[in-house]
Structures are given as structure tokens and as C-alpha cells.
Amino acid sequence: MGRYAEAFQQSITDPDTFWGAAASGIDWFRQPTVVLDKSSPPFYRWFADGVMNTCFNALDRHVRDGRGEQAALIYDSPVTGTDRTLTYRQLLDEVARFAAAMPRASVPGPHHRQVMFPAGKAEFTQPASYRT
């Protein structure tokens, strides 16, 4: 059996072990103690008592770990003719600037945001929401 097939099989037969190991590959503010909360079927919850930040895991930790100058986002639009590559550091700076502007613009908390921007700027809005 190949590695993919083995990993897939373990994810089905032993999801707690498989996804617990996968979760150790990201940064947590509070490490989860339970992988899959099955206490209220059919409403299962993954990592219910863990606390993490998606934006931190997508951007900040790569800069922290020395990959700040590596390409993080390649935007190539045949429609607009725009071609742009952003490093992790550049993308983090853009996202941080946008996140800082949201409260000043009276944009409510992250669960109430729908922000529409043209392509080439929209990639900053979602991570910025998770920072505030």
C-alpha cells in the first residue's frame, strides 16, 4: 500500500490519531486536549477546546521561521493582465495594514464581515478579518 493510501486508511480507521498528529504541525495558542468531540451526535466538533489563529498559521509563523522572503502568493490574472508575486513578509504587511484599518472604518467583528474588493486586493481581506 502506498503512503497516500496508508494515510487515508488511518484517517478513516483512527481519526483521532491521524488528525491529532496533523494538528501538531500547526501553532496553537491553546493546544486541544480532544481531537474529535463526539459528545453531541450528529454535531461533532474537531479540536473544540483548542485555540489557534488561521492568519498566524498562514503567514506570521512563516516569517518567524525565516521564510519571509519566500513567495507566498502568486497572482496572475489573464483578465486584467496583472502579474504579482508577494513574499510572506509582504503579504503579512499588507494584511496587517488592512486589519489595522478595519476597526477605524467601523467594520464589526470577524463573524459579521463580508468585504468585497477587486481581484488583486481581495486576498488581504479574509486573513485581515482573523487578525482583529
Please give the sequence-ordered ranges of beta strands (E in DSSP) within 31-81, or none if there are none.
36-37, 45-46, 71-77
Name the pTM for this structure.
0.74
Q: Position 31: which residue type?
A: Q
Give the orientation angle of helix 15-23 with respect to helix 3-13, to 10 degrees. Answer: 110
Asked if residue 73 and residue 127 are part of one domain, the reply reads yes
Asked if residue 40 and residue 61 are part of one domain, the reply reads no
Asked if residue 69 and residue 37 are part of one domain, the reply reads no
What distances in angstroms separate CA 94 from CA 38, 67, 86, 99, one per listed residue?
39, 17, 10, 9
Asked if residue 17 and residue 62 are part of one domain, the reply reads no
Residue 97: the pLDDT is 87
Residue positions counted in the chain: 132
Residue 13: the pLDDT is 96
Asked if residue 102 and residue 44 are part of one domain, the reply reads no
What distances in angstroms separate CA 108 from CA 45, 116, 125, one per listed residue?
26, 15, 13
Residue 108: the pLDDT is 57
Give me the domain span that covers residue 17.
1-51
Secondary structure class of 27 (helix, strand, coil): coil
Q: Is 128 exposed, middle or buried (0-12, 13-18, 19+ CB in 10 A)?
A: buried
- Pairing state of beta strands 71-77 and 82-87? antiparallel
Asked if residue 46 and residue 62 are part of one domain, the reply reads no
User: What total of structural domains would you count in the chain?
Assistant: 2
Each of the 132 residues of the chain gets a pLDDT tens digit; together they read 799 999 999 999 999 999 999 999 999 999 999 999 999 999 999 999 999 998 899 999 999 999 999 999 888 888 888 888 999 999 999 888 888 877 666 655 555 555 555 556 666 666 776 665
Asked if residue 93 and residue 122 are part of one domain, the reply reads yes
Instruction: Pull the grid cell for residue 4.
Output: 497516500
Asked if residue 127 and residue 74 are part of one domain, the reply reads yes
Asked if residue 68 and residue 58 are part of one domain, the reply reads yes
